[in-house]
Structure 1
Amino acid sequence: MTTIYDIAKMAGVSITTVSRVINNSGYVSADTKKRVLDAIEKCNYTPNKTAQALSAGSTFKLIGIVCYNIEDMYYAKAVAVLERELRKYGYDILLSCTGESLEVRQNSVDMLISKNVDAIIFIGSVFAGKTEDVILSASKKLPVFLINAYIKHKNIYCAFCDELKAIKHCVIQAYTKGRKNILFMYDVDTYGSQKKLQGYHEGIKECALNLDERYIIKCSPDIEDAMDAFWRSYKSLTIDAVVCSNDVLAAGALSAARKNNIPVPQKLSIIGYNNSLLSRCFYPALTSLENNVEKLSIFTAQNINRYFSGENAIKKHQIDFELVIRDTFR
């Protein structure tokens, strides 16, 4: 006897998508709908009451979450907030951490779809760029929600902070305090990191400073490595400010400055990014860019509930950033 699971497998979609076609509820692309209807016709399938109950208003209440690395404080906070907020609407989560491997990312998405999740959330701009095809493919089968990345496409819903403008703002703020030799530190080669790097370039240009590639350094996402990388640059260059792509690198720069008796912020201003707990655990406390990951996560949970409640989910939601001034910036 053919079941809704057989139809989903044959059409290459989740059973929730099959249910939407059967019940004519929720968004399903024309191509996907045709595949489902063709599978139903081929198998001469007649839905039973259980299958019909899986409408958009009666889903499995399971949301897949894909993140880069749960050990990272940014992703850990996003997942924690998402789980808390989604639970308010009766949803459970299924988490997959992928690292940098494109193959692992595709396998993670395939696994989540096979588990019949109702939607998938991708956390971080790390999933834009090279991973975009994975996201677009997933969006043909179920709704996709992005946190801190923007891809314009049907069935993709985005909430983000403009990372280019955020880093540009940091550079300009350092310049307004008289800093003219501004180092930029980043760790991984991702879409988000490239946006931040572009923001650094634009900030330097707007301040009419000379762009010197020696003032752009890449290091491992580790405090000790960041310490060594910063100190090597500081010994060979004139540096009076450092803008970092995350708080871990900023903590490394601060640790190197303290170890080598560089007065902070008198001779060196340090700006981190993410405004994580780490920024408040070091002395002096780190100035850091708040990109509001908690607000983005709360909004995404609300947007998912809108979608499955039959309301119009918001396709594009941009949130403001804020430079949180603490002791390392003057």
Structure 2
Amino acid sequence: MFGGVEGYYRFMKTVISINKSQNNETAKYRLRVLDHYWKHGLDSALDAFPVSRPTIFRWQKGLKNSGGKLQSLVPKSTCPKRVRQMQVAKAVREKIKGLRETWPNLSKHKLKPLLDSFCQEQRLPQISATTIGKVIKRNHYFFTQDKRVCHDPNRKRVVKKVKTRVWKAPKHEQGYIEADLVETRIDGKKNYTVCWIDIGSKVALSKTYPRKTGKNILDSFLAFEAFHPGEIHTFQTDNGSEFEGALDVFLRKERPEIHRCYIPVRSPKINGVVERYNRSLQDDWMNHHLHLFHDPETWNQSLAKYIYFYNFQRVHETLQYKTPMQFAGVQKSLKCP
């Protein structure tokens, strides 16, 4: 708009220089020292201000060379021209990439124990979790797939009966089990993954079945009971009918010491531990293996590998970066998959 006005650019540069110097306390101080030097001489300036003779002359020279621009009194950046470069071995970068491809949602803190084991085997220097995060970000090692699984919201109406309700989320104690069921539907076909987790040690197990029958639910419970390293004293689920029938009869007859309880209706937050486990299962494994959906045997084999990884190799922040089996007292060394 004012490009054709004579002297406009010189005037704007002057305004910018004044504003920049006025907003900088150091520049104001230097200008005050120079004003005192010009009015009262060098000896008076040296007595009045804690600056040296060469410093005053250097400030005056910079102001003179800039044509009297006050901006020259603003301190220049002291950032070094050459900074340290992050040094990461190529084999380590390739391992990080491979782990991220296998487990796309694993954070830098959970990758570190796996990477430390690899570095020890290859006799390479270990790197910190912060460096792992930088390698992932700079090389764009993000392999998440934006795919959604349709879940059928229609459920059978539960037959009312006397139930022990849990109105607050339970404390994290070992032997307290939460269970839930994840329904996956692709091309009109449904699969049901039964999930079990100990809220104290985070030891978890999942198995997938073509139908959510009482027999299948009981089979998954017996598998979890055999896999769990401790004693089970409480069993908590939502109000779905899938955990009734054969499992309920078995618990009352064969496992009377296990206390059966239910969460309130429409209160999944009370079942928060298994709900979070379901999210991890879907983000870390299920959504990246949907191509195996129509091959149940291969699907369960791949799921079993993830369950092994989850319990014996994947560290958890809530467990002070230990694996569930380590927290439960099962000693097993970490090895990269």
TM-score w.r.t. structure 1 length?
0.23
> Which of the two has greater strand per residue?
1
TM-score w.r.t. structure 2 length?
0.23
Rg larger in 1 or in 2? 2
